[in-house]
């Protein structure tokens, strides 16, 4: 089976906000730096079993969400299985605040992406025992153990009135850029290297 894993970077440099309240941390830069390192980890290994792709990684300004979906759909035509991982930092308001943690998102309803979301959530939970995992707050305790992802029709995940995705996708919200302690971690090279290795490990576990 021919597979593609597409890494979707967060927002463009020209997207308002998307940074810490003091401006020291920028989600767009952090996400791109992590993807570069993850891709380098991946291509250092032979016989992958999938193609790592990143068509918008070096696009500085936001190309548009519909443009992203169109491109990913074009790529998916050449593969039996195409998966998109969108990497972000979370936020709560525009000022420093206390919410923290990690969440995983898919589109609304039961879809083929749910299995990837659950797998990634469980992997993160095992790798970050001291971080707060944030399953969807409307789920029962039983449901949180089975299908813990949040659901929202973000364009990357669900498309819009103009276009629908032909791929599976998960959006990761990793820590909060509006939490001072989280930002310290997001700016820590050792913490970031661990994140890169953790994502690489999950990709290999899932797609090799």
Domain range for 10: 3-207
Q: For strands 102-106 and 168-176, give the pairing.
A: antiparallel
Q: What is the pLDDT along the chain (208 residues), one digit of tens a residue?
A: 899 999 999 999 999 999 999 999 999 999 999 999 999 999 999 878 999 999 999 999 999 999 999 999 999 999 999 999 999 999 999 999 999 999 999 999 999 999 999 999 999 999 999 999 998 876 566 555 667 889 999 999 999 999 999 999 999 999 999 999 999 999 999 999 999 999 999 999 999 8
The total number of structural domains that make up the chain: 1
The CA-atom distances, in angstroms, between 69 and each of 149, 159, 180, 184, 199 are: 21, 7, 33, 33, 22
Q: What is the CATH number of the domain that holds 125?
A: 3.40.630.40
Contact 51, 5 (CB under 8 A): yes
């Amino acid at each position: 089976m021919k597979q593609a894993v597409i890494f979707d970077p967060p927002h463009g440099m020209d997207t308002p906000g998307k940074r810490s309240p003091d401006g020291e941390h920028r989600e767009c830069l952090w996400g791109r730096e992590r993807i570069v390192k993850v891709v380098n980890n991946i291509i250092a290994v032979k016989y992958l079993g999938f193609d790592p792709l990143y068509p918008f990684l070096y696009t500085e300004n936001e190309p548009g969400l519909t443009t992203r979906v169109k491109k990913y759909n074009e790529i998916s035509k050449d593969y039996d299985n195409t998966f998109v991982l969108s990497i972000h930092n979370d936020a709560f308001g525009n000022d420093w605040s206390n919410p923290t943690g990690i969440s995983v998102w898919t589109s609304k309803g039961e879809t083929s992406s749910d299995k990837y979301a659950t797998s990634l959530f469980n992997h993160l939970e095992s790798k970050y025992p001291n971080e707060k995992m944030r399953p969807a707050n409307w789920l029962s305790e039983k449901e949180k153990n089975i299908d813990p992802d949040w659901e929202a029709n973000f364009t990357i995940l669900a498309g819009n009135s103009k276009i629908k995705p032909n791929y599976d996708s998960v959006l990761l919200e990793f820590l909060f850029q509006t939490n001072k302690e989280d930002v310290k971690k997001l700016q820590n090279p050792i913490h970031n290297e661990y994140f890169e290795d953790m994502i690489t490990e999950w990709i290999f576990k899932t797609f090799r």
